[in-house]
Each structure stands twice: as structure tokens, then as C-alpha cells.
Amino acid sequence: MSERRIIFQGNRLWLAPEASLPEVEAELRLRLPEGHLALRVAEDHPVPEGVEAVGLRDAFPRMDPEAWARAGRASQWLEWAAGHRFCGSCATALEPCEGHGRRCPACGRTVFPSNATAIIVLIQRGAGAERELALARSPHFKPGVYSAIAGFTEPGESLEQAVHREVAEELGIRVHHLRYFGSQPWPFPNGLMVAFLADHLDGELRPDPAELEDARWFRLDALPDLPAPLSIARWMLDAAVAGKTDEPRMNTDTHG
């Protein structure tokens, strides 16, 4: 495997053929477990000729999926390293320790790279031509786009408990028959999305106005605009439309 350099400026990826990425002065430099080098350059660093600085979402359609996944991993490692420079207990500067972690030389507190786990759940009711999906709109979605319900897990909670809590809080309904669909690292900025399918048990949709603009049941032949094809939400929706929700979709883009 050849070593690659993955360069970020803030949350923008430097997009260019590997051979044309110049040597740079980096403010953060990390050797990733898979061997590549992740670099973060200062916001005021000039963008070199032949390089484009592009947000990861915008970079998605322009990269092969494996390269995009690799850039997402680099982004998550850089994000963690940049956010864990000092001890959370006593504010002493942390030092590297085994297992890619960091240790406080003053109080011994140790931290290891981690991410924020979120669940996403696609809720179905009915069968055949009558099948419907519960989809919702968050105010920060693009106009017209609806998606599955998602939310972060809380400390001490299982994935299944998080699904039931989020569905109750955001939609006011209950679900059952949870099925694992797949997972996806989500580098905005440091998430892991764990996706489930579920069936409606009871209750009428009452979207939580603090989180959602709208939520409705949509028939498969009358779906609204859907999220971009980079997210597991969309993969699940595509599987539902194709009638293939019984085949788990694993994220296989894990080797770089």
C-alpha cells in the first residue's frame, strides 16, 4: 500500500492528484492506523495552484468511494486530535500514550480516540402497494427533503433504547421489530451512524417542533425529495424502494 497524504484546511479537503499535492507546513500531523498521513494546515495557508479546497459533502461526487471514506476517516482522527490537546480534568497538556491515546502527565487521566454514536431508523407500516414510510424534515435539510429519524445515543443507553427514545420523542409513536441494516462513519464532524429498520406499532405522528418541521407517512410511489446518495439514510431508502430491506447493507469501504 502506498502512503498517501490527506490534507485538510479547517473542514475542507485539499482535492488534487496525490503527485501534485505540495509539501506543506502543517499545524497538525497524524500518522493514521492504516499508515496514511493526515495533515491539517492553517486557515490562512494559501491554497496551492492545482489544488481545490472542498467540503467533504461537495467532494463526495468527485471522488471514488474508497478515497472519500479514507478522507472521512482522516477528518475524524484530525478532529479528535485537535479537540483533545488538554486534560479535561486538570487542563494540563496531554502526551501521547499507547493505543493512539493521550495521557495527562499530571493526574493520569487517559483518553482514547472515540466518536459520537447516532442511530437512524426507517419506520415502515403496511405491506405491498400500501406500504408507507415515516419520514421527517429537519429545518436544516435542503428544501423539500425528508429523511429517516436520527439522533445521538446517550451515555449508558443501548442502540435499541436510543431508537425507541428518539422515535417517541421526535415522532410520538412506538415501533417494534427492529432490524439492523448497517453502519456508516459520518465525518460531520465525528459520528458513527447505526441504521435500523422498524415497523410501526402504534400512535399517530406528532413531530417534535423543537427538532422537526414536519413528519408524514409517504407511500413508496409518492416519496418526497430524499437525502444525497452519500448517506446510509439514502441507502436504506433506496433499499426500501427496491423492496430489499431484508438484506443488510454493510459499509465495506473500510480498507484503504
Angstrom distances, CA of residue 149 to CA of 53, 137, 170, 199, 211: 31, 9, 8, 13, 10
Is 242 a binder of Zn ion (CB under 5 A)? no
Is 89 a binder of Zn ion (CB under 5 A)? yes
Shortest distance (Å) from residue 114 CB to Zn ion: 18
Among 107, 116, 228, 250, binds Zn ion (CB under 5 A): 107
Is 93 a binder of Zn ion (CB under 5 A)? no
Region binding Zn ion by CB under 5 A among candidate stretches 95-103, 109-117, 142-150, 238-246: 109-117
Among 29, 84, 103, 109, binds Zn ion (CB under 5 A): 109
Is 106 a binder of Zn ion (CB under 5 A)? yes
How far apart CA 216 and CA 213 sit, in angstroms, is 11
Query: Using only C-alpha atoms, what is the Rg of the chain?
Result: 21
Shortest distance (Å) from residue 105 CB to Zn ion: 8
How far apart CA 185 and CA 106 sit, in angstroms, is 33
Shortest distance (Å) from residue 110 CB to Zn ion: 10
Is 237 a binder of Zn ion (CB under 5 A)? no
Residue 133 burial (CB < 10 Å; 0-12/13-18/19+)? buried
Per-residue binder mask for Zn ion (CB under 5 A), 30-69, x = binder: ----------------------------------------
CA-nearest of 23, 43, 15, 37 to 81 is 37
CB 122 within 8 A of CB 197: yes
Q: Which three cell numbers stand for residue 22?
A: 505540495
Shortest distance (Å) from residue 106 CB to Zn ion: 5
Among 104, 118, 121, 197, binds Zn ion (CB under 5 A): 104
How far apart CA 56 and CA 75 sit, in angstroms, is 9
Q: Which residues bind Zn ion (CB under 5 A)?
A: 87, 89-90, 92, 104, 106-107, 109
